[in-house]
Structure 1
């Protein structure tokens, strides 16, 4: 690769699309020959330091796959069994590798199959770059074979999307896509490339510039001194302060800054569902999880705090419950990189629009050292009440059916809270969130905002590939497992050792719980007649076994943990159990139920 000539650079970057290009920051690389659009895409991905792609080939993206064939030593392609699996795998990879995940799909049904995973990434702020093939430009709008208007589908569920019809655009657009995906509040982007743009040669030798800025797009800014000063004044005068740690802590890699701030300020910390593992579970200032099925104390005492500092979270309805009853007594300090989240749901007394790490550093340097023993004792009292009425009943007693909480508790103890837990959606998700102990950061992945059943199996594979030195455990319900069961084939073919636990109660458990509690026990289409999961796994080449008795659980988990290959453990859990505490729909957080 060599620096491009000024003439060649001008020829490429004079394209009308590039009017926001900052000429003074050009650092452009080129090949020694003209390449077609497909090869330009592959070279662009290499320049962005992509090493893994999750995808599924098809007619409209076949030229890209042909180009990929020649670079298979540099780019590892993982052949998923369904395009939704590609997006979830890219999500898991992105969160563990700390860089955008990449997925490929063809036009039409290939592109539409990405939609669920893209929406999931959008709501949970996960950076992924989706590349889709499209019919040739002359056929756009003609209802050609496998043509879908993917731009209209993608626009509301991506940070940015763009359709490429000129191969000269590809390097610039890919650089822009990666920059947008990973900066500011991260999220998914989609680039749709017509088949003729994939096949045509560029008009000049390949050039590439990594983006450092885009005109009109300001993804982050330093916290304003005045906002910091107001926040510090509130915190220093607080008697019952409370900190909410959200996903933004993990996205900004501000775990150490959070710990330093908390230990100096003495403020108790609760986590959102997606903020789990941002703060050590065993820390004396950690008081549990917020939300509909969170811990009793954090929910009840939200409505008694005088100052709430929310860091990297968006006051989702699963955290707030009824907004009319939510924290009306508290002054709220809201830190978020996305200005649209400030006061969107909960009015902020002080809004700090900044990266979580930068804001916490500034706050730590000014906040006073304090301790709140009486306030912390209130959390301890709530925890004891929850233990007596809920927690001890979530663990398996002698002679009882296996309970979900017991499976999670035992797994966490055996792995010393250092494994990566990837949970699907439902009762098992809440049990995993409540009873997993996190002694290592970046140890929790789940679908939060969209609540996507089928998320965990492909995401666990992506997580393992993004962090090959970590042990990854996918905890999945029997209903969720059948949403993406075909990705067992992807895991087997990849050779990655993913450990899978199915919590099987032969029900869509969370829906059944709601039908029991709020629909007079009318169980409407929630009971499952399940296949033999162990035989199916073995058909894919993955060993496993079923655990039916509590006495066998410990040994069964040892077998799973010690396996050097992927392994599937099916645990037959208590069939009709409910997850408590629970904030009923429409209730306030102080109306949380323990039974």
Structure 2
């Protein structure tokens, strides 16, 4: 849990009397749990600024508890957000790098006016960025937060009605991926005098529900500010969740449009500079002891590294753990890059989109050490990947919800702190040299398959694996590849040679078509010193390409690789394996003779579309042309799109794994009946992992540890 750092011992008043009076209000700020114990060295910032003496207010001047500032609710929100900071390991970060927004009647005179005033009076305090689609601006914010390890993000303001509901998909994506973003959807009038207003949802059984209530199940924190007096507690609650590694995700504060413009006398100290400490919870000794005991018993252990390794900045600690113990490391989509691809103990991607190396090791693993993973169905191959009947799980996660999965030994703690503790506790213990050699051999065999996939020489159109190979070749180690949906995330997970912890950025929690370009914009804003390669298929491009205009407007250089195969190739391949014959997945004219979508290819020129938006475009047809175009794109200053057509019928090397997508039980199609037989055979291999501790022997293990 995060809390603001403040060395002052006194209680601080947060709320004035109702109606903005100058009297003392309820003293709320210090009635929660106490802050962290810190020493002077913990308070030193990255710029070498000397820390304040303990007992003093470390980063803000003293503020009179009687002083008030008269502002509208929207102005108060903007001013408050502009002075919020996060801190971890003594390093501060501006919590909000800015505010994305699209203005409508619901927010133009509220938050819009407040952002204008801030831009004129305090340039740079909370910069405004114009988006083209509300969903896109949330994606950009989430990508920014991921690149910044959840220590910084954006706020997003929208109008009411469709402007607000356009953010729902982004909210779900943020929460599923455990990434912070602050959503400020405008809402209907609190006074109800003008109701029903334009774009208001009316329900006959209640007046206190709007479309914004759809954010409730998608948000880690939701509040609607009906009165100005409610704002301070709403803001502080929102910041608490945004900066809590175990709770973070989408945070929604719905702001009725009349309340946004309402003036109020606020305590001046509400707008004092505030620093939220992002904690690193250490493992409980008893939980650590149980984990060590289980690992000690292992002969074929495997680490599954998830996104928590990245967000905890624990990649070097994972390397140290692996090298000290000889435990191989497999990676989820969010954890890819936890080890460089060529590290002797790296076996690569695991699960449905994994490497044969990782999946073979996973199949025989007797202990799986999950670090910062939520064990999605792709990671577990729909619970068929970990096939050893005696397998047990040790789960290191800052969130108890995730740590308890697979009935494993739960270590609810920070990934970095736990890896360090495990390395110390396991000193002198390690896997057998033969097991390490086996893992390394399997990884090298897989890499040879990757090299062949990179250099197929397929004609007349290249294979997608060849395109991935060229992007990997042309990109520098610190460059970033972005993707989210279609066949490319699976191919990238298996084939991409990751050389830097932040070099791989595939959104595969929600796997949202349309994330790619907007996410690329956000990633580049977070890491302007890295080139960002956005790999997107024509299906995802057609879903959401509008933020290319934002990239042009802001001068943000993203290199978009548009892989065009004239259809939904990923689902086409899946459809074929499920006996559905690629039905409805190709971009074809309706055939007048058959009445079906099996006519000629639709002549959609997506490159021309990008060009019309102001993007520099290069069209290529061969791998040589594509390689040259990418090298030229590296030298450009603004957004670039390189189009390449590929053959959708050339698959990448397979994972020898499975993903549970049900097949029709009855059908008159031979293809479907055959697919159903295969499905039932795979379904029989699924496991529930219901025994406490992850194996039938868990009671013995637990008893031995008492």
TM-score normalised to structure 1 length: 0.90
Task: Label 1:335 to 1:143 Cα distance change in 2 as closer, same or farther (>3 A).
Answer: farther
Task: Pick one of 495, 516, 519 that aligns with 1:456.
Answer: 516
The alpha-carbon deviation at position 308 of structure 1 amounts to: 1.1
Map 1:375-390 onto structure 2 (within 5 A).
Answer: 375-383=435-443, 386=446
Q: Which residue of 1 aligns with 2:488?
A: 428
Q: Which residue of 1 aligns with 2:102?
A: 56
Q: Which residue of 2 aligns with 1:66?
A: 113
Q: Any idea what the Cα deviations from partners look like across 1:350-388, whole Å, max 9, x if unmatched? A: 210111122112111111343543223433454466567
Q: Identify unmatched segments of 5+ residues in structure 1.
A: none
Map 1:89-104 onto structure 2 (within 5 A).
Answer: 89-97=140-148, 98-104=151-157
Tell whether the 8 Å contact from 2:155 to 2:183 is kept in structure 1 after alignment. Answer: yes
The alpha-carbon deviation at position 465 of structure 1 amounts to: 0.8
Q: Distance in 1 between matches of 2:357 and 2:33?
A: 55
Task: Label 1:155 to 1:211 Cα distance change in 2 as closer, same or farther (>3 A).
Answer: farther
The alpha-carbon deviation at position 268 of structure 1 amounts to: 0.6
Q: Distance in 2 between matches of 1:213 and 1:493?
A: 33
Q: Distance in 1 between matches of 2:509 and 2:456?
A: 31
Which one is further off, 574-583 or 103-112?
574-583
Q: Distance in 1 between matches of 2:28 and 2:200?
A: 28
Q: Which residue of 2 aligns with 1:260?
A: 320
Q: Which residue of 2 aligns with 1:194?
A: 256
The alpha-carbon deviation at position 212 of structure 1 amounts to: 7.6
The alpha-carbon deviation at position 398 of structure 1 amounts to: 6.3
Q: Which residue of 1 aligns with 2:643?
A: 570
Q: Distance in 2 between matches of 1:310 and 1:164?
A: 40
Task: Pick one of 49, 73, 78 that aligns with 1:42.
Answer: 78
Task: Pick one of 161, 175, 181 that aligns with 1:108.
Answer: 161
Q: Which residue of 1 aligns with 2:414?
A: 355
Q: Distance in 2 between matches of 1:422 and 1:569?
A: 15
Q: Which residue of 1 aligns with 2:425?
A: 366
Q: Which residue of 2 aligns with 1:83?
A: 134
Q: Which residue of 2 aligns with 1:240?
A: 300
Q: Distance in 2 between matches of 1:268 and 1:589?
A: 28
Task: Label 1:18 to 1:428 Cα distance change in 2 as closer, same or farther (>3 A).
Answer: same
Q: Any idea what the Cα deviations from partners look like across 1:69-122, whole Å, max 9, x if unmatched? A: 122222222111110001101111111233133211111111100000110111
Q: Distance in 2 between matches of 1:6 and 1:353?
A: 32
TM-score normalised to structure 2 length: 0.77
Task: Pick one of 213, 227, 248 that aligns with 1:166.
Answer: 227
Q: Any idea what the Cα deviations from partners look like across 1:296-327, whole Å, max 9, x if unmatched? A: 12123212112111100011111113437744
Q: Which residue of 2 aligns with 1:396?
A: 456
Q: Any idea what the Cα deviations from partners look like across 1:176-200, whole Å, max 9, x if unmatched? A: 2122112132211111111222111
Tell whether the 8 Å contact from 1:301 to 1:590 is kept in structure 2 after alignment. Answer: no
Q: Distance in 2 between matches of 1:325 and 1:588?
A: 12
Residues 1:542 and 2:615 aligned together: yes
Q: Identify unmatched segments of 5+ residues in structure 2.
A: 1-7, 19-23, 36-56, 85-93, 202-209, 589-601, 661-681, 687-706
Give 1 or 2 for the bigger CA radius of gyration.
2
Q: Distance in 2 between matches of 1:294 and 1:588?
A: 19
Q: Which residue of 1 aligns with 2:374?
A: 314
Task: Label 1:376 to 1:150 Cα distance change in 2 as closer, same or farther (>3 A).
Answer: farther
Which one is further off, 89-98 or 448-457?
89-98
* 3-state secondary structure, aligned to 2:252: strand
* 3-state secondary structure, aligned to 1:575: coil
Tell whether the 8 Å contact from 1:128 to 1:187 is kept in structure 2 after alignment. Answer: yes
Task: Label 1:571 to 1:373 Cα distance change in 2 as closer, same or farther (>3 A).
Answer: farther
Higher relative contact order (CA 8 A, sep 6+): 1
Residues 1:581 and 2:655 aligned together: yes
Tell whether the 8 Å contact from 1:236 to 1:368 is kept in structure 2 after alignment. Answer: no
Residues 1:330 and 2:330 aligned together: no
Tell whether the 8 Å contact from 2:364 to 2:386 is kept in structure 1 after alignment. Answer: no
Map 1:416-565 onto structure 2 (within 5 A).
Answer: 416-519=476-579, 521-527=581-587, 529=602, 531-565=604-638
Which one is further off, 88-97 or 517-526?
517-526
* 3-state secondary structure, aligned to 2:118: coil
Q: Any idea what the Cα deviations from partners look like across 1:377-421, whole Å, max 9, x if unmatched? A: 433454466567776245332655312222222222222332111
Q: Any idea what the Cα deviations from partners look like across 1:530-560, whole Å, max 9, x if unmatched? A: 5222222221111011110123222122112
Which one is further off, 406-415 or 265-274?
406-415
Task: Label 1:340 to 1:51 Cα distance change in 2 as closer, same or farther (>3 A).
Answer: closer
Q: Distance in 1 between matches of 2:439 and 2:398?
A: 30
Q: Any idea what the Cα deviations from partners look like across 1:204-239, whole Å, max 9, x if unmatched? A: 34432677889xxx9874311111122223323422
| CA RMSD of superposed structures (Å) | 3.0
The alpha-carbon deviation at position 123 of structure 1 amounts to: 0.8
Q: Distance in 1 between matches of 2:446 and 2:494?
A: 12
Q: Any idea what the Cα deviations from partners look like across 1:260-296, whole Å, max 9, x if unmatched? A: 2112111110100111122222211111101211101
